Structure 1
Amino acid sequence: MTFERIMALEVVDDDLYQQYRDNMLPILHTFGGSFGYDFIVSKVLKAKTTKPINRLFTIDFPSKDTMEKFFADPAYLTVKDKYFKASVNAVTMISMHEKAET
């Protein structure tokens, strides 16, 4: 079993968001995490939130505990503060769950 989060964002600065991804990815990999799917969304037909969405992705971890450690990691938080906060206007967590490995 692995642990997966399905996330939706409104990215407002694509270049800065890409810098965030480039800088956080090595940290994510040290925790055994990875991206499963990654989409740029052109049109939302139905949403349970009023927050705008233009990006959708899954992020996978070996366990929920590992995910929590990653998001609390000081190196990750430094990258998030530098790039994520200025490049993303809205964040929606669609789902968080254990999943069977495929």
Structure 2
Amino acid sequence: MPCEILVGLNVTDDELYQKYRDEMTPILKEYGGGFRYDFLIEKVLKTDSESKINRVFAIYFESEEAKNEFFLNDKYIQIKEKYFTPSVSATTTIAKYNR
């Protein structure tokens, strides 16, 4: 069953974060995944998180198993460490659901 995660980030380096997206997207597609929505957030009116959020996106996978395999992929982990980790100061999982 397809699954989706709604995620909020505090991106601190837009250029480096874009490199992360560019590098990881082909791997994501290999696992039947992609992005359904992607927003830059100027102002947050209400949040349950203590972390700042300036970007929100919905990422999807063809199945829960595909999602788990994607996040364990060695190449993805290397890309995440190189680009995501230094460009994002906080990650908030807003929701997980099946589609």
TM over 0.5, yes or no? Answer: yes
Aligned Cα root-mean-square deviation (Å): 0.6
Unaligned runs of 5+ in 2: none
Show CA shifts across 1:32-58 (max 9, x none): 100000000000000001100000000
Matched residues in 1 for 2:70 and 2:22: separation? 16
Q: How many aligned positions are there?
A: 99
The percentage of counterpart residues that share the same residue type is 45
Show CA shifts across 1:11-65 (max 9, x none): 0000000000000001001111000000000000000011000000000000111
Give secondary structure in 2 for the equivalent of 1:32: coil
Matched residues in 2 for 1:97 and 1:36: separation? 13
Give secondary structure in 2 for the equivalent of 1:9: strand
**1:14-33 counterparts in 2 under 5 A?**
14-33=14-33
Matched residues in 1 for 2:10 and 2:36: separation? 19
> Which residue is equivalent to 2:40?
40
> Which residue is equivalent to 1:82?
82
